C-alpha cells in the first residue's frame, strides 16, 4: 500500500484521553503513513501532551480567559443577534455557530488551508462542516454526537468518504439513512494478555475524570458509609472536587480509605496500574443537567474506561444504561439503578462472591473488543 500524508483535526484539548484517536494514529503510523494531528483549541484542565511516537503533533489553543469572555459574549450578545441573522439569511456560514465555535472555526480553516495532505480525518461535526465549506472530502470520526447538531442540514454528505462511529443508532442520529461507508469501532484498547490478573479484594477503583456528574461524590459517600472498602480515584480531579477532598473528606483521605492520583499514564501503564485493584466503576449522574442534556451521547457509547477495565479482566459496576447492556448480558459486571451506598455495596459483594467467573467473562469481552481488530477494516480502507 502507498504511504499517504494524513491530516487529523481533533477539536478538543483532551487528546491524551481520547483512546480512539490515539489508537488510530498509531495504526496509521504502523502502516507506513505520515500523520499530522492538530488539536487543542482551548486549554484543558489536566492537559497532557499525548504519547504519540512518529506523529507530527501541533497544539493550537485559546486561553481560558478568551473562552470565558467568549461564553459571556455568546449568551448576552451573539445569541440574539444570530437568531435575527438566521431569519434574514445573513452570514449563513456563521449564524448557527456559538462564539466558541466561531473561534475554533478559525483554527480549523487555517489548518485545512495551510497543510498539504492526501487524506483528511476530522473528529466531530465542526471540522467536518468547514471541510465541506472548503470543498474537501474527508473521513469522519464521530465521538460526541450531541455537538454542533445545528450544522447537520448544512453538510454535504457526498463529501464524507467514511465514518468511524460506535453504533448504528449514533450514525442515524447524525446522518440518518445516508449511504456512507461506516465502521463500528468501540473506544477500547488494543488487547494484550495482562501481565497480572486482578484479584478479589475490597480495593475499588474509579478511573477517569473525577467529577460529580460522573459519580465521583457518590463513590466517596459509599466508602464513607462502608469504610471497610477502600476507594482509589485515578484521573484528573476537578478543582471543586479537589477542594472537597482537602476539606470535607480529609478524614477519609487521612484514614487511607480514600486515595487519589492524577499522574498521567498511557494505556499500557494504566492497565498495569489498574491490576492492583479489584472492581472498576463507571457512573453517570443523570440528575445533573450537564449529563442530562447529553444523555443520548452517554447512553449509546460505552465509556473507554469500561473497555480498559475489561481488557485486564476487571469486573465492572456501572450505571444502568442501554450502552452497558452487554456487561450484564455477558456477566462481566453489575449494572445499578441508583448510586446509593447500599446499592453500590450489593453490586460489589455480588461480584466478590463469584469473582473468578466475573473476571474471566470480563477478560473475554476485553479480547472481543480489541481495538486493532475492530479498526482494521477502516485502516485498510483509508490506506487504499
pTM of the predicted model as reported, rounded to 2 decimal places: 0.90
Nearest to 264 by CA among 42, 17, 99: 17
pLDDT at 95: 76
**How far apart are the C-alpha atoms of 59 and 356, rounded to whole Å?**
44
pLDDT at 52: 86
**How far apart are the C-alpha atoms of 301 and 292, rounded to whole Å?**
15
pLDDT tens digit sequence for 201-222: 999 999 999 999 999 999 999 9
Residue whose cell numbers read 463529501: 159
| Three cell numbers, residue 117 | 495532505
| Three cell numbers, residue 24 | 488510530
> What CATH superfamily classification does 5-187+371-382 receive?
Glycogen Phosphorylase B; (3.40.50.2000)
**Class (C level, CATH) for 203-368:** alpha beta
**How far apart are the C-alpha atoms of 376 and 384, rounded to whole Å?**
12
pLDDT at 43: 65
**How far apart are the C-alpha atoms of 323 and 170, rounded to whole Å?**
11
Give the strand pairing for 279-282 and 203-207: parallel
What's the number of CA atoms in the CB half-sphere (13 Å) around residue 183? 25
- CA of residue 341 relative to chain centroid, distance: 27
Question: What are the residue ranges spanned by the domains of the chain?
Answer: 5-187+371-382, 203-368
pLDDT < 50 regions, the chain: none
Alpha carbon separation from 126 to 130, 146, 260, 271 (Å, rounded)? 7, 11, 35, 33
Nearest to 11 by CA among 56, 62, 76: 62
- Whether residue 225 contacts residue 346, with contact meaning beta carbons closer than 8 Å, is answered with no
Domain 203-368 in the same topology as domain 5-187+371-382: yes
Number of helices (H), then strands (E), in the chain: 17, 13
pLDDT at 46: 53
Amino acid at each position: 500500500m502507498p504511504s499517504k500524508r494524513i491530516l487529523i483535526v481533533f477539536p478538543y484539548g483532551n487528546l491524551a484521553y481520547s483512546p480512539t484517536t490515539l489508537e488510530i494514529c498509531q495504526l496509521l503510523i504502523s502502516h507506513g503513513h505520515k500523520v499530522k494531528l492538530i488539536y487543542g483549541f482551548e486549554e484543558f484542565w489536566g492537559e497532557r501532551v499525548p504519547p504519540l511516537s512518529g506523529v507530527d503533533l501541533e497544539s493550537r489553543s485559546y486561553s481560558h480567559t478568551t473562552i470565558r469572555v467568549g461564553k459571556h459574549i455568546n449568551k448576552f450578545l451573539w445569541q440574539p443577534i444570530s437568531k435575527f441573522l438566521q431569519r434574514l439569511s445573513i452570514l449563513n456560514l456563521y449564524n448557527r455557530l456559538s462564539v466558541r465555535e466561531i473561534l475554533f472555526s478559525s483554527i480549523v480553516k487555517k489548518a485545512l488551508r495551510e497543510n498539504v495532505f492526501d487524506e483528511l480525518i476530522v473528529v466531530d461535526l465542526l471540522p467536518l462542516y468547514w471541510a465541506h465549506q472548503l470543498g474537501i472530502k474527508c473521513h469522519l470520526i464521530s465521538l460526541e454526537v450531541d455537538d454542533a447538531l445545528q450544522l447537520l442540514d448544512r453538510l454535504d454528505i457526498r463529501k464524507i468518504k467514511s465514518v468511524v462511529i460506535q453504533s448504528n443508532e449514533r450514525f442515524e442520529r447524525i446522518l440518518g439513512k445516508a449511504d456512507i461507508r461506516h465502521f463500528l469501532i468501540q473506544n477500547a484498547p488494543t488487547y494484550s494478555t495482562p501481565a497480572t490478573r486482578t484479584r478479589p479484594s475490597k480495593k475499588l477503583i474509579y478511573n477517569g475524570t473525577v467529577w460529580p456528574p460522573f459519580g465521583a461524590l457518590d463513590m466517596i459517600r459509599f466508602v464513607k458509609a462502608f469504610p471497610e472498602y477502600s476507594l482509589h480515584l485515578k484521573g484528573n480531579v476537578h478543582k471543586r472536587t479537589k477542594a472537597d477532598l482537602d476539606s470535607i473528606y480529609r478524614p477519609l483521605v487521612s484514614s487511607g480509605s480514600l486515595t487519589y492520583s492524577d499522574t498521567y499514564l498511557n494505556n499500557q501503564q494504566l492497565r498495569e496500574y489498574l491490576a492492583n485493584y479489584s472492581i472498576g466503576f463507571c457512573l453517570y449522574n443523570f440528575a445533573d443537567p450537564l449529563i442530562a442534556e447529553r444523555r443520548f451521547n452517554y447512553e449509546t457509547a460505552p465509556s473507554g474506561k469500561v473497555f480498559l477495565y475489561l481488557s485486564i479482566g476487571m469486573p465492572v459496576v456501572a450505571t444502568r444504561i442501554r450502552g452497558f447492556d452487554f456487561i450484564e448480558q455477558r456477566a462481566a459486571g453489575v449494572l445499578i439503578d441508583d448510586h446509593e451506598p447500599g446499592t453500590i455495596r450489593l453490586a460489589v459483594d455480588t461480584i466478590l462472591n463469584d469473582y473468578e467467573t466475573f473476571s474471566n467473562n470480563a477478560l473475554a469481552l476485553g479480547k472481543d473488543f480489541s481495538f486493532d481488530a475492530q479498526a482494521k477494516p477502516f485502516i485498510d480502507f483509508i490506506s487504499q
